[in-house]
Structure 1
């Protein structure tokens, strides 16, 4: 990630920090919508929508209307999507909750074989939805995973814009988790040092930069990050930081 951040400007990094603080202040749906619209100004998209299921989406991949946040997504399409229950045939949505990686829509579309999936894709294109990306995080202690979709025909080809979205994702996940989830603190116990390194991670610090601040070795910082990741069931340090934020384990 450190090498990839070289593709971002100092202004980009400042914007990411500002969004990190804004995400902590989200207390209602309107503020979450405003946060998503702010992302749309930083990364050119034609629409953004986010959501968080109430249960375990690996068993029942559906997001109730009340837990969907519209950051300027195609309103007619979104209404039809919800009315017709298109989540049952949307190949991107169905695949998302099994891996939570970055999904480029057209790449997933090329793998479909079912007639109803192909009809869904053609219907979405009638509304101007040709290309975009979907990404999110899973919070194991909340049994819920976030889902954010960003529409934009050129988005997947823009390395800087994709990197910005990946950097913003943990903060968007923390914000929507805090808005809709009732976190469970049961069984989660981070040490003071683990909380400290995650807090510096939230500030955008690398392991090396944190080691210089805390006057301990970079290897020790990585050790504490890995311990936190294991305890929080996270795949990487960014996801561990987002989960710790949503659980209230760090400020």
Structure 2
């Protein structure tokens, strides 16, 4: 299904494909939002979803965009956003409202590009909590999908990225991050590349600094989003 994105031309076409992918992954609903970098005071926001119309109205009436915990997390982290746990404490009124409209279990994945635009891909469903196995199996796929969808929507709505600051990783930094993406530890990478573990840590540290991320997972996802790997 995702291969059909190559033939899409409009946001509606892209979203139609995305709805099919959501169903294949076991979700009832999907949404995508893209926030531009400019203007800084009120950046442009594009959103599309297939949520129940009652929830769409409620979301708009309550201006939930400003207090939606998933949006807040997407703006500060590239890690998966799993609905539940401590996140429910961030805005209980919002979550109670969402649950009342049939949105109980969900998964969000943020993305970004070289211009600083932030995207948020969300999947949700009314029943059946996410299992640990499901999360483990789908994590990399959803992260990859979020980046692909981000690129297609950015092109379709003509959000400029030509003035984006350039981030450059050395060949060794990129190589180390690719092994991190495959789940290898620093000790594993040291043995694979025949370099000291201290050198591996050095390259990872440099990558975190260049990518402005706080851990290896975030660095890998951001590097993937920027097509540096």
Q: Is the shorter-chain TM-score for this pair beyond 0.5, marking a shared fold?
A: yes
Q: Distance in 2 between matches of 1:187 and 1:95?
A: 25
Relative to structure 1, the CA distance from residue 169 to residue 76 in structure 2 (aligned partners, 3 Å threshold; closer, same or farther) is same
Q: Distance in 2 between matches of 1:51 and 1:185?
A: 20
8 Å contact from structure 1 (residues 51, 146) kept in 2? yes
Question: What does 1:1-251 correspond to in 2, within 5 Å?
Answer: 30=13, 34=17, 37-38=20-21, 40-42=23-25, 44-55=26-37, 60=42, 63-65=45-47, 68=48, 70=49, 73-74=50-51, 76-77=53-54, 79-80=56-57, 84=61, 86-88=63-65, 90-93=67-70, 95-97=72-74, 99-100=76-77, 102-105=81-84, 107-112=86-91, 118=93, 121=95, 123-137=97-111, 141-152=114-125, 153-156=127-130, 158-179=131-152, 180=154, 182=161, 186-202=165-181, 204-207=182-185, 208-250=187-229
8 Å contact from structure 1 (residues 57, 144) kept in 2? no
8 Å contact from structure 2 (residues 143, 221) kept in 1? yes
What's the TM-score once normalised by structure 1's chain length? 0.62
Deviations 1:63-108 (A, max 9, x none): 323xx4x5xx435357536764743465324532454353425754
Q: Distance in 2 between matches of 1:183 and 1:238?
A: 27
Deviations 1:145-192 (A, max 9, x none): 332322133334x11123334333432343234332626563522112
For residue 221 of structure 1, give the secondary structure of its aligned residue in structure 2.
helix
8 Å contact from structure 1 (residues 46, 151) kept in 2? yes
For residue 52 of structure 1, give the secondary structure of its aligned residue in structure 2.
strand
Relative to structure 1, the CA distance from residue 226 to residue 31 in structure 2 (aligned partners, 3 Å threshold; closer, same or farther) is farther
Q: Distance in 1 between matches of 2:208 and 2:28?
A: 34
What's the TM-score once normalised by structure 2's chain length? 0.67
Shift of 1:231: 0.4
Q: How many residues align?
A: 215
Larger fraction in helix: 1
